[in-house]
Amino acid sequence: MNTPRWVYQKIAEELGVRESQVSAAVALLDDGSTVPFIARYRKEATGMLDDAQLRHLEERLRYLRELEERRNTILESIRDQGKLTDELEAQIMAADTKARLEDIYLPFKPKRRTKAQIAREAGLEPLADGLLTDPAQDPETTAQAFVTADVPDVQAALNGARAILVERFAEDADLIGDLRERMWSRGRLGSKVRPGAEEAGAKYADYFDFAEPFTKIPSHRALAMFRGEKEEILDLAVDPLTDEDAERPGPTAYELAIAHRFGIENRGRPGDTWLASCVRWAWRTRILVNLSLDLRMRVRQAAEEEAIRVFAGNLRDLLLAAPAGTRPTMGLDPAYRTGVKVAVVDATGKVVATTAIYPHKPQGQWNESLVTLEKLVREHGVELISIGNGTASRETDHLAGELIKLRPELKLTKVMVSEAGASVYSASSFASRELPELDVSLRGAVSIARRLQDPLAELVKIEPKSIGVGQYQHDLAEGALSRSLDAVVEDCVNAVGVDVNTASAPLLARVSGISNTLAENIVTHRENQGPFRARTALQEVPRLGQKAFEQCAGFLRIRGGAEPLDGSSVHPESYPLARRIAKAAGGDVQTLLGNERSLQGLRPADFVDETNGLPTVTDVINELKKPGRDPRPTFKTATFTEGVETVADLKPGMRLEGVVTNVAAFGAFVDVGVHQDGLVHISAMSHSYVKDPRDVVKPGDVVRVKVLEVDVPRNRVSLTLRLDDDLPATKDPSNSSARPRRANKAQQGSGQPKRPAPQGAMADALRRAGLQAPDSGA
């Protein structure tokens, strides 16, 4: 694809890298290479751009190419109209955003007949030009000469002239661009409750009378306001004025900017008042309306981008959570009336037993359930019990805990896992093919067991947005969200690597260069021909050509095969280099794999040649030292405090161990074993300033927290990671929620970040814990 040089220059400037690095990466992408492949195996070509830089490059390349395509369309349109001048073409070529490009194009954009166009056809443009250039003329007297059959009177003439000037003001690209940025930096987005919607929209009470500057409104609050508007609870309005602007008499700063642009000023001349009214009319009826729409869209886009970033980060952390490994595991999918679904999988994830038990109300078969679980554990050598964190999870956790206490010789470990997306998987077509003999309800228990063994391998079977670790995912732009989440899954899968002889088709489909069809073909070939004994055997798979092999080979692992390097991340193209390094270390690949001591003294620079640069040599040596190493952390579990099973059991000052379940822009939710996740507000995460909660914790982290507040009636729990924090003063729980307030003058003028009081914000967010309402953003 032909890409203009300015695109390379722009991206290089944004990334702070050389233009040659960008052009090399673009060439590789255009040639069909994937980001994981380029980041891992083409470091010399790109100057070691990492996957994060390459993802940014890929996204910006898409935008800038769309911009260039739109630019060419606009040039062609104006050229066809016979209106393209050298100056206009230079303006269009210099536009570096879609908004700027559309501002320039606006006067030339084909449109329905406007009032201004009708006025020009009636011969009123000379009147508009004359009054604008010579305000000394009296408007009414001058307009007399333009009264015709098509213009019945003076007022009609002046209205037509005004329409022409209003359109001219509103279509001045430089002026509109300046006003847009001025409004962005000074304006606010406000919301008010619709009359009569107070009760139905109680969850949006924080926004019944609220306003916040465009530049300061956080993602979760902006998206809450837009959702409230969509649900017809709130009316949103753009306020372009600060409080100081609103109190100043006379024309607004925006009207003055329009007047200045066109040389309009009040010097007491007959036409000055009329021209000022034209400016005011243009601002209030057209420019403000259009810019309000622009800025609402800008707020929404910024909020969506931040929400997508948070979602993607949380998903990455969840996918790269520590795997429990190849250990026989029992999955428990809790429920009350319909029973707890039980599935046992062996070390490879194969289902070996399923059943249902009814320990809870209304059946109450507690002892019978313990007997059933013990029998399954002994029969299948179960080591881990994986418990879904949904309805009845705490009671089911207590059941497993009693089994462990009664039968310590079984050496069981119980772990609460997120069951987000398990029901989606259960009803999916893939689950039907994978587990055709099982009822939908039992498939969820299988998924819960497997996601403890290997979260990545199991979660890739679920649509990323169904995993539920984001804010307002249902309100986000589908295309942008899918691209971002798919990129995260792809990066995670390829960072870990995949055993080609055990991986499912959905997991294989996330490997670099492998499509859904190729993944199915690999699985079919494996089932028909037996396990792959070498990477080269992949080329026997139908439709897996040389390009696909190049892209995927380094990320696929074959354990115990004919070629020892096939179990590592060394790419087949670097096997000769690996053997040369092994020979220099005094052995062969077979004996030196994993022998760090023998490889320790090697200098990577000694092996650099025309084919292999220093980055590749360094990677190969490191891989020989620790072949097939897993980048994920070591598996560990949180220990919930005995006797603390409900919110009512919590007391301020308690110190507990818990698991981070979700991270949002305003803080982190932590499961401490009481059914209801507690909130650690961003202001209670560290003694130093925290810009992004994910800099402190990630989903799956085991943390120590202190209970700050407990509101049993409202099911709210406030926590802190700062264990030396003082407890807040006792107060009436019914008045514990401090709502976001309308931004005041001090907030607008201050450069310091303003955050709500910790306990108030915690209360607000905890009301929505479980991601069911505005600030936590389901």
pLDDT digits (tens, 9 = 90+) for 156-170: 999 999 999 999 999
What's the average model confidence in pLDDT over 139-143?
96
Cβ atoms of 164 and 119 within 8 Å: the answer is: yes
Nearest to 684 by CA among 655, 700, 707: 707
pLDDT over 80 at 771, yes or no? no
Compute the chain's Rg from CA coordinates.
32
Q: Are strands 667-671 and 413-417 parallel, antiparallel or unpaired?
A: unpaired
The reported pLDDT for the residue numbered 745 is 36
The reported pLDDT for the residue numbered 399 is 95
The reported pLDDT for the residue numbered 628 is 84
Cβ atoms of 146 and 168 within 8 Å: the answer is: no
pLDDT over 80 at 305, yes or no? yes
Sheet bearing 234-239, strands edge to edge: 209-213, 188-193, 234-239
pLDDT over 50 at 772, yes or no? no
Nearest to 666 by CA among 217, 96, 185: 217
Least confident of 39-43, 598-602, 636-640: 636-640
Cα end-to-end distance, the chain, whole Å: 40
Cβ atoms of 470 and 311 within 8 Å: the answer is: yes
Sign of CA dihedral 59, 63, 64, 66: positive
The reported pLDDT for the residue numbered 767 is 39
pTM: 0.79
pLDDT over 60 at 110, yes or no? yes
* Res. 247 pLDDT band, cuts 50 70 90: confident
Question: Rounded to whole angstroms, how far apart are CA atoms 775 and 512?
Answer: 37
Measured N-to-C along each axis, helices 51-80 and 86-94 cross at an angle, to the nearest 10 degrees, of 160
What's the average model confidence in pLDDT over 706-715?
91
What's the average model confidence in pLDDT over 296-305?
93
Mean pLDDT of the residues in the chain: 89
What's the average model confidence in pLDDT over 286-311?
93
Measured N-to-C along each axis, helices 575-584 and 614-625 cross at an angle, to the nearest 10 degrees, of 70
Question: Rounded to whole angstroms, how far apart are CA atoms 349 and 368?
Answer: 26
Q: Are strands 498-499 and 556-557 parallel, antiparallel or unpaired?
A: parallel
* Res. 737 pLDDT band, cuts 50 70 90: very low
Question: Rounded to whole angstroms, how far apart are CA atoms 539 and 542?
Answer: 8
pLDDT over 90 at 137, yes or no? yes
Domains in the chain with CATH codes: 5-77 (1.10.10.650), 115-307 (1.10.3500.10), 329-453 (3.30.420.140), 647-776 (2.40.50.140)
**How many other CB atoms sit within 10 Å of the CB of residue 352?**
14
The reported pLDDT for the residue numbered 243 is 67
Cβ atoms of 675 and 391 within 8 Å: the answer is: no
User: Six-digit token pair at 517?
Assistant: 């069809």
- Burial degree of 249 (CB within 10 A; 0-12, 13-18, 19+): exposed
pLDDT over 60 at 754, yes or no? no
- Coil/strand/helix, residue 62: helix
What's the average model confidence in pLDDT over 8-12?
95
